[in-house]
């Protein structure tokens, strides 16, 4: 498949069944559901004006993959006021405050566990999933 080909005109005609059988299918549907939600939200706020750009903040712990998100956004936006809108991603690392280290530590992976081994942590950043801003024509 080629994101950006322009061949997809309406949401209803897109058959996604071929994507759900693989191990990556669930993840893809996760991003697609989020993308649809974003498109709905920005189109409502745009009140009929074309959406030019959407800035989305994504934390690493949301398990949203940037490339998949871009593709799903484009798919979800097809035929809406957000059709062709640019999607800017503000990616946030997973950071925890560790009560053993008494400091903020960046996580090397997506498990909320301090690099020192302590699980006595509070997630500081990494769970964000927000529409930060949007631009309308
Ligand atoms: Zn620690």
DSSP output for 3-70 = TT-S----GGG---HHHHSSTTHHHHHHHHHHHHHHHHHHHHHHTTSPEEEEEEEEEGGGT--HHHHH
Q: What is the mean pLDDT of residues 22-38?
A: 69
The structure's pTM equals 0.72
Domains and CATH numbers, the chain: 23-136 (3.30.2320.80)
- pLDDT of 5-27, one tens digit each? 333 323 332 333 333 333 444 45
Distance 125 CA to ligand 1 centre (A): 16
CA of 108 to the centre of ligand 1 (A): 12
Cβ contacts of 109 within 8 Å, gap of 6 or more: none
Tell how far the Cα of 103 is from the centroid of ligand 1, in angstroms: 7
- Chain centroid to Cα 89, Å, comes to 8
């Amino acid at each position: 498949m080629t994101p950006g080909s322009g061949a997809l005109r309406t949401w209803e005609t897109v058959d996604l069944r071929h994507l759900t059988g693989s191990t990556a299918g669930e993840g893809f549907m996760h991003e697609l559901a989020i993308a649809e939600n974003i498109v709905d939200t920005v189109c409502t706020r745009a009140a009929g004006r074309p959406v030019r750009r959407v800035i989305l903040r994504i934390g690493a712990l949301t398990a949203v993959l940037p490339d998949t998100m871009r593709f799903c956004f484009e798919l979800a936006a097809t035929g809406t006021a957000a059709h062709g809108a640019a999607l800017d991603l503000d990616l946030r690392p997973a950071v925890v405050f560790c009560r053993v280290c008494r400091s903020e530590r960046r996580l090397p992976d997506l498990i909320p566990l301090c690099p020192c081994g302590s699980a006595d942590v509070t997630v500081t950043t990494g769970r964000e999933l927000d529409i930060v801003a949007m631009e309308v024509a």
